[in-house]
Structure 1
Amino acid sequence: MTNAAPAAGERGASWLELFFDLVVVAAVFQLGHLLHGHAVHGVDVLKFVLLYYVVWQTWTAFTLYANVAAEATLRRTMFAGMGGIAVMAAAIPEAFGEHAQVFAIAYVYTRVVAANVWQKRRQMLAAWPLAQIGFGLLPWIASLWVDGTAKYVLWAVGAGIDLVVSVLIGPERMRRGLERRVSRVEDYRSRHPERRVPAVDTAEVAAPHLAERMGLLVIIVLGEGVLQMIRAAEGAHWDAELAATGLVGFVLLIAMWWQTLQYGFGRLTGRKRLNLTMVAHFAVTATITMIAAGLGAAVEHPAHHLDTGMRWALCGAVSIYLVAMTVLAVRPRYWGFGALLVAGPLVLAALGSHMRSSGVAGVATLIMLAQVAFLGTLRRRHRES
């Protein structure tokens, strides 16, 4: 069974892909709550980043498969991925406890399913090497026979290998390697016509469709931010400061929506270094989820001081988000000014220990609005030149 063919015209996200995203929504919801309702420490942030990477990588693998396969996308393959993500989502609250083994097995399962589909299609995807290269999966497999801290260290090593491989290999190097491989196969087949050697093709990404899919995940994590603030407001004392903090938080989410989709992934078409764009997408969506947790804490207790760990998590996430957007949307000659904005949240984290939660959220929002104005100015200059 395959996915229904799209209507005439440019292909958009299918109903099957949108259904797939609903399971990812559940996982993002679970991830967002890892940093909420308790004092946040550095290890909590590291755990969040690792688990978020696993969910994001799984989403990426199946999204790229559906992107290339288009109307030939197998429903059973997507449903298998959905099942794996659903299990991971259920295990997230105790992923570093009693459900660690279940979480790891579910991730290995989904990764194998996603990689196997390329072998069946006899295709290699140069745009994102992790679609078929499984070096980073080996530590996860090894972790199934290890307990305690060693298990989680292996998880981190696997994620690190994935990210390093994706950056170092890159689409162009991967494409050249695939072309050499295809050439060797064709040469072998010409010299040995009696032997049956399966052909291997290079798969090309449909950039407009991928841009839409990446944008939809951004919308999902932004929706988690809105939900975090709504849930926090339910049990808070409703007064003018709460209303102001909620408004400030909503403006911050709008600012991230604006620059991420207007200046970031909405301009994906034609980018040669798609692997770096994918890494930026991971950084942006992960930091939005962290910022959402910080906004939820600020709305819950606007007149109190943010927990030190939460303040650094919120401000650090804003800073990393600004770095990713600067690299993604700004030409290198303007990175100097972007660096000034990036430093702002870190200064806020260091000096904001005596500020109310509402004040920290307000200053973070002003910095984010400054980035929006900066990107808008650069866009106007580019149009005029």
Structure 2
Amino acid sequence: MSEAGAEAEEHRAGWFELFFDLVFVVTVAVLARGLHGDPDAAAFGTFLVLFFPAWWAWVNLMLTVNVFGSAGPRVQGMLVAAMPGLGLMAAAAPEGLHSRAWAYALGAAWVRFAAFGLWYGRARRPDNALPVWRPVSYCLVTGGIWAVSAAVPNPGRFVLWGLAIGVEVVLLMASTGAGWELYDELSIDHLVERISLFVVIVLGESVFTLVVAFTDHFTGPSGATALLGFLVVAELAMVFFLWGTTGASRGLGRAQESRAIRAMRDSVMYLPFVLVSGITVIAAALGTAVDHPEHHLPPGARWALCGGVLAFYTANAAISLRFGDPPGMVLRWYVPALALVAVVLVPASVLLPAWAAVGCSAAVVFALAKLAKYRARLRLPGT
């Protein structure tokens, strides 16, 4: 590891970053609201289309702070400047693909313009390998595309959204000397801590959903269902924080030492989005169950419950593989996850009342948590 990388290991999340994350508490809550009840395919698609740009903005700003540190006034100023843009995206999200799509686009442009100054200043340093065209392309060009899309009617607007994100993805895929330098500088502790804190935000939204649903339906069956739902959330948190973060630290460290840029990029920028999306849709299904515990879950809530659990474990399996864990070791816990979802959770969500379906999901996640604990005792690598 380079000297810069060794020094980066001391970098931990600061209070200013935690303040910055408050806007994402609102963003997740607003976007998750559209999945309550009986969401259809369009509702799930809307959630993913609007959640990914918000996640993408967060992870890019997180990496910016990882490289520059959070203690300096310039970085803190950048975070403050970016927060209103993210807030605008959150406020526009309920109609983010319709009447407020223009505002959502302007919020995305705002975030990119806010980050430009730091990266441009670094590119201008004589001792830096980062070419000036990269921050210009990644921040100004893509921000300009988002801004222009605000004036373009649907569906052309969404083509421009895809183009803007596509340009950023292509730039990340391009390997340059500056790319190696930046990946060497990344603090693994900070990466794991920041992604873990984002997961905390999503888990917190899950608990909030359960409590609000119980508040609105203050009955014995709803309370019992909320308690079972809380067990589901707590068990997912246990799997992630007791074993997932340890595996992530180890895997990212190996990837950085071997300069496996693609593995680091995928496991930090792309795959956690699948994981947090899974937790979010699970929470929506649990809230629906608390609303009507003695009824059967509607089809959309069944998809959310079963698909969310599957997404959570699929993301973890994919991250394990990107870290270089042997496929056989990953399959030892991923195959049971697939089997329990297919054989237990799917039939339960269809045949049983909502409270019982949530109870079965708690049992499934508990069994998989025990399997994760057993895997950890055997010192098997994983996420």
Q: TM-score range, shorter-chain basis?
A: 0.7 to 0.9
**Compared CA separation, residues 62 and 243, structure 1 to 2 (3 A):** same
Q: Counterparts of 1:248-259 in structure 2 under 5 Å?
A: 248-259=228-239
Quote the residue 1:21 is aligned against: 21
Q: What residue ranges of structure 2 are gaps of 5+ in the alignment?
A: 1-8, 256-262
CA root-mean-square deviation? 3.0
Give the whole-Å Cα distance in 1 for the aligned partners of 2:265 and 2:13. Answer: 21
1:244 corresponds in structure 2 to: 224
- The aligned counterpart of 1:46 is 45
Give the equivalent residue in structure 2 for 1:55: 54
Q: Which residue of 2 aligns with 1:5?
A: none
- 1:335 pairs, out of 330, 338, 343, with 330
Please state if 1:363 is matched with 2:353. Answer: no
Correspondence for 2:378: 381
Letter matched to residue 143 of structure 1: S
Match of residue 223 from structure 1? 204
Q: 1:90-101 alignment to 2 at 5 Å?
A: 90-101=91-102
**2:311 equivalent to 1:320:** yes
What amino acid is the match of 1:32? A
351 and 228 in structure 1: CA distance in 2 versus 1, 3 angstrom threshold: closer
Match of 1:143 in 2: 149
| Matched letter for residue 328 of structure 2 | R
Supply the distance in 2 between the matched residues of 1:130 and 1:142 (Cα, whole angstroms): 19
**Contact 2:149–2:157 (CA<8 Å) still a contact in 1?**
yes
CA contact (8 A) 1:124 1:203 kept: no
Partner amino acid for 1:24? F
Amino acid at match of 1:47: T
TM-score (norm 1): 0.80
Shift of 1:83: 1.1
Aligned residues: 346
Contact 1:124 1:132 in 2 (8 A): no
1:306 aligns with 2:297: yes
Partner of 1:275: 265
Amino acid at match of 1:111: R
Flag the structure with larger Rg. 1
Q: Quick one: which amino acid aligns to residue 317 of structure 2?
A: T
Q: CA deviation at 1:349?
A: 3.6
Percent identity of equivalent pairs: 29
Contact 2:11 2:187 in 1 (8 A): no
- For structure 1, the residue ranges without an aligned partner over 5 or more in a row are 1-8, 183-200
Rounded Cα–Cα distance in structure 2 between residues aligned with 1:253 and 1:22: 21
Residue among 225, 238, 242 paired with 1:262: 242
* Counterparts of residues 173-252 of structure 1 (less than 5 Å): 174=175, 176=177, 178=179, 204-239=185-220, 241-252=221-232
What one-letter code is carried by the residue in structure 1 that aligns with 2:378? R
- Residue 33 of structure 2 is matched in structure 1 by 33
Give me the whole-angstrom Cα distance separating, in 2, the residues matched to 1:260 and 1:131.
Answer: 37
**In the aligned structure 1, how far is the partner of 2:158 from the partner of 2:297?**
29
Residues 223 and 132 (structure 1 numbering): CA distance in 2 closer, same or farther, change over 3 Å?
Answer: farther
Amino acid at match of 1:322: Y
